[in-house]
A and B are shown apart, each in its own frame.
Chain A
Amino acid sequence: GAGVSQSPSNKVTEKGKDVELRCDPISGHTALYWYRQSLGQGLEFLIYFQGNSAPDKSGLPSDRFSAERTGGSVSTLTIQRTQQEDSAVYLCASSRDSKDGYTFGSGTRLTVV
């Protein structure tokens, strides 16, 4: 596609529920990243996918967070048993390769109530 597509744009969920966030990167971009931005805060790295290599999961804050990337394209970030501190904007980005700057999607605003 023309840009990085994320869905849903907004998600309100009850504490304890599971949520899935989806990212469709720019066609041909082999690198995909997930970041999190809490209100008034900087961007926090979560996970990185590059082609068929093992992902770098070092930024995932707890084992409630997981992500996968199917077929080297679409990625899903799953948060299990959501907590209020998970409320943030989740941003997906892609790049042609790992040396380039990223192009961000419009994000998913997650609110846990």
Chain B
Amino acid sequence: QKEVEQNSGPLSVPEGAIASLNCTYSDRGSQSFFWYRQYSGKSPELIMFIYSNGDKEDGRFTAQLNKASQYVSLLIRDSQPSDSATYLCAVKDGSYKLIFGSGTRLLVRP
């Protein structure tokens, strides 16, 4: 059973701080990794993807991948109250199916 694990949270950070969201996965054959943001009552929205070890930056977001440790993280710099949402980590094993974690709820305090 391929699994993706996330701490359910909530992770509470003050406005302007860096929020660090973490995810581990069980399948060493996993090849691509995605972060989705889901606001309450809404559908998931793709915000980042990463395929190679290291960091990938997009604006205030940085995705980090360590395949040896089977670990993916998402950093959100200068966190804003509008970033408050559930963040879903998803892993693809080289085929087509995304396996989702259960998500981490982020609260950014004004």
Contact = CB atoms under 8 A, between A and B. Distances in A.
A98 interface: yes
B42 A106 contact: yes
Q: Is the interface of A mostly helix, strand, loop or mixed?
A: strand
Given A41-B102, A42-B88, A101-B49, A91 B43 contact: yes
Interface size bracket, B side: 20 to 34
Query: Which of the listed residues A33, A41, A42, A98 has the most CB atoms from chain B within 10 Å of its own CB?
Result: A42
Given A103-B46, A104-B43, A45 B102 contact: no
Given A98-B96, A102-B98, A43 B44 contact: yes
Interface residues of A, number: 21
Contacts of A41: 102
A98 B109 CA distance: 38
Interface of A: 31, 33, 35, 41-43, 45, 48, 50, 56, 89, 91, 98-99, 101-107
Interface of B: 32, 34, 42-46, 49, 88, 90, 92, 95-103
